[in-house]
Structure 1
Amino acid sequence: MSGLDLDRLVAIDVHVHVHRSASPEPGPPGEDPAPEGDDPALKRMAEYFRTAHTGGYTVPQVAAYYRERSMACVVFTVDSGGRDPVPANEEVARLAAEHADVLVPFVSVDPARGPSGVEALRKLVAEHPAVRGVKFHPGSQAFYPNDRIAYPLYEVIAEHGLIALFHTGHTGVGAGTPGGGGIRLKYGNPMYVDDVAVDFPGMKIILAHPSFPWQDEALSVALHKPDVHIDLSGWSPKYFPPQLVQYANTLLKHKVLFGTDFPMITPERWLADLDRIGIREEVKPLLLKENAARLLGVPA
C-alpha cells in the first residue's frame, strides 16, 4: 500500500525516469544532477526535448525535487538490450520505499530475459512490497506487447495486482541518430496492447504518452477496455492533438493521468502548458491527482 498522503499533495506524476545510481556515495538529497555531457545518450535526449536537464537524477534527488513541489511520482529504470539496468530495479525499489511519502516504485524487466526475467520479477515483488507496477518500453526492448514472450511476465503482474505501463507511440530514444539508434517505432502501436487487455482482463494498464502517430488507436483502446488508462507524459500539453484534449475533457476524464517524463520535461513546464489547452477546471483534479491515486490504490 502506498505511503502517500493525498491531502498534502497537489499532483501525482506517473512517469519519472531515474537515470543515475545513488551507489556507492548517494550525496545529499538536494545535490545537483550529473553535469552536462556526463551521459551522451541523456544529452541527445535533452537536445530532442529542448531542455537543459542533461544529467540524470538519483532516487533521493528525485524525492527531494518532488517533495519541494508537494508532488508525488512513480519512479522506474528501464531494462533493455541485455544489460542490467542502471540503477538496478532493487535500488529503485529500496530507495523509493525510504521516501514513501513522495515516491511509488515500478520495476522494469525485458521480456527477452525469458524465464530468468520472470523469476527476477517474482523476487522483486516478494522482497519489495512497495512495488506497484512494471514498466515496458517495446521499442527499446524490441517486442510487440502481444508477443507471447511477455505473457509469463503479465501473469506475474496480474497475479499480484500490479500495473503494466507500456511506452506507446513515437520516442525520443534514438531520435536523430543513425538508424534511430536501432529503435523500431512499429512496436509502439497501442493497438497491440489491446490484445493484452483482452487476454488479462482486470490487469491495470497504462498507455504511456500521447501515442503519435496512433492517437486514435490509443483513445479507442482506452474507451473500450475498462482497465486501460493513458498517461500524458513525454509531450508538452501544447502539442496534444485536439482529439486527445476532447476525450480527456469528456469520455476519458477518469482515465487520463498526469505524467511528465521527468527529467526531460519538468512538472513546471508541463503544468504551465496545461493551462493553454482548454482542460476543464472540474477535470484538472482528476487528471492531476485523483485518477492516479485510485489506480495506485492510495486511500482517500
Structure 2
Amino acid sequence: MIIDAWAQHPTLRHSQDPIFESLRRWTKIPLPTAELPVRTTLEMMDQAGVDRSLICAWFAPRNVMISNDEVAGFVAEAPERLIGVGSVDISKPMEAVREVRRCINELGFKAIRILPWLWEVPPTDRRFYPVYAACCDLGVPFCTQIGHTGPLMPSEVGRPIYLDQVALDFPELVIVGGHIGYPWTDEAIAVATKHENVYIDTSAYTTKRYPQALIEFMRGHGRSKVLFGTNYPMITPAKALENLDELSLDDEARQLFLSGNACRIFNL
C-alpha cells in the first residue's frame, strides 16, 4: 500500500493564484484554464500505485483557495481513495475552533493543515494555539509546512525549530511537518527525534532530492518518523516515487515510509 500524506485536488482559484507563479519556473506546468476533474487526480494516483491521498484545503488571509466543503465534495466522489484534511482562518480564533470541530466531526476529515508562510507568522504565534488545543481535544494531527518556500514569501517562519516550542507546549499534539524542512533538515530531524509526536513528510521533493541526512534517518532510528508525500499536483506521484529503490530502505523501513506511518498517525 502507498499513501500520499500531502496532496491537493486543486480548484481553479488555487491553480491560478498569482502566489504560485514562481513555482512554474520549476514545474513547467502551464496555467490551468478549467477545473480539474477528480478522475484526473485518481488517474495520477493509479499510474504510481498510490492507494490513498490526503487532500487538503487552503486558507490564506482573506483568501480561501480550496474550501473545506470543496474538499469534502472531492472526497465524496472517491471516498475509498481520497481523505480530507481541513484548514481554517487563524485570524478568527473562535470561528477557527468551531471550523476544526466541523471538519472532524461533520466532514470526517483526518487532520488540519495550516501553512505559516501564507500567514507570515511562525507556528508559535498565539493565533495558532486555539487550533492546537482543538486538535488535541479531537485527537487529530496538526499538519504544517517546514523549510523554505517555493512561492516568493519569507521562509523564516518555516524553520523546524519553531515546532520544538509547540511540542513542548502541547506534548500530546501530533505534528506533521511537510516538505522535509530543507535547508534546515537537520533541525527537522532533531525536533522529530526529541519529540515523540513530531513527524516529517517528504512532499514537494522527489526521492533523488532527499538530503542524505534524511535518508540515513529513514534507514535507522527515524524509520517510524517519516511519511511519503508528493504535494501533487506540483509533483505527480509517479515522479515523486522515481528512484525509490536507490534509497536502499529495508523492507520494514520502506513499508513504514510508504504507508505504515501514515496509517498509524492519521488513524486510517
TM-score for the superposition, normalised by structure 2:
0.89
Structure 2, unaligned runs of 5 or more? none
The answer to whether the 8 Å contact 1:46/1:264 transfers is no
Paired residues of 2:54 and 2:84 also in contact (CA < 8 A): yes
Return closer, same or farther for 1:240/1:134 CA change in 2, 3 Å cut-off.
Answer: same
Deviation at 1:283, TM superposition (A): 1.5
Tell me the percent identity. Answer: 28
1:100-131 CA distances to partner (integer Å, 9 max, x unpaired)?
Answer: 21111001113223332223323333321x21
Tell me how far apart the structure 1 counterparts of residues 12 and 97 of structure 2 sit (CA, whole Å).
24
How do residues 263-282 of structure 1 correspond to structure 2 at under 5 angstroms? 263-282=233-252
1:142 equivalent to 2:112? Answer no
Give the aligned residue type for 1:117: A
Q: In structure 1, which of residues 224, 240, 253 is the aligned counterpart of residue 210 of structure 2?
A: 240
Question: What SS does the corresponding residue of 1:234 show, helix, strand or coil?
Answer: coil
Change (3 A) 1:266 1:65: closer
Tell me the residue number matched to 1:132. 110
Tell me which of 79, 87, 99 is aligned to 1:100.
79
2:231 corresponds to 1:252: no
Q: Is the 8 A contact 2:59 2:66 kept in 1?
A: no
In the TM superposition, 1:200-219 aligns within 5 A as 200-219=170-189
Do the aligned residues in 1 keep the contact of 2:101 with 2:138 (CA within 8 Å)? no
Which amino acid in the other structure matches residue 121 of structure 1?
V
- Alignment equivalent of 1:151, drawn from 106, 122, 129: 129
| 1:14 counterpart residue number | 5
Residues of 1 paired with 2:19 and 2:36: CA distance? 14
Query: 3-state DSSP class of the match of 1:207?
Result: strand
Tell me what 1:113 maps to: 92
Aligned residue for 2:6, secondary structure, equals strand
User: For residues 263 and 91 of structure 1, do their structure 2 counterparts lie closer, same or farther at Cα, with a shift above 3 Å needed?
Assistant: same
- The match for 1:79 is 59
Q: Is the 8 A contact 1:51 1:265 kept in 2?
A: no
Distance 1:164 1:39, change over 3 A: closer
SS in 2 for 1:143: coil
Per the alignment, residue 231 of structure 2 pairs with 261
Q: Which runs of 4+ in 1 moved over 6 A?
A: none
CA distance in 2, matches of 1:106, 1:124: 8
Report whether the alignment pairs 1:45 with 2:18. Answer: no
After superposition, the Cα gap between the structure-2 partners of 1:277 and 1:126, relative to the gap in structure 1 and judged at 3 Å, is closer
For 1:77 and 1:58, the matched residues in 2 are separated by 16
Q: Is contact 2:111-2:142 (8 Å) kept?
A: yes
Spell out, residue by residue over 1:176-206, the C-alpha distance to the aligned partner (whole angstroms, 9 max, x if none): xxxx2xx211100111111111211222110
| Whole-Å separation in 2 of the counterparts to 1:76 and 1:227 | 21
Would the alpha carbon gap of residues 156 and 283 (structure 1) be closer, same or farther in structure 2, given more than 3 Å must change?
same
Shift of 1:276: 2.9
Identify unmatched segments of 5+ residues in structure 1.
1-9, 23-33, 174-179
Change (3 A) 1:194 1:57: farther
Determine the structure 2 residue equivalent to 1:26.
none
**Alignment correspondent of 2:200:** 230
**Counterpart of 2:134 in structure 1: which amino acid?**
V
Q: Deviations over 1:32-72 (max 9, x none)?
A: xx8xxx66555542322x34365474555424542563521
Secondary structure of 1:79 counterpart = strand
C-alpha distance in structure 2 between counterparts of 1:136 and 1:40, whole Å: 19
Q: What is the distance in 2 between the residues matched to 1:228 and 1:70?
A: 24
- Please give the root-mean-square deviation of Cα atoms over the aligned residues, in Å: 2.3
Aligned to 1:238, the other structure's residue is in SS state helix
Counting matched residue pairs gives: 264
Query: TM-score scaled by structure 1?
Result: 0.80
| Equivalent position SS for 2:124 | coil
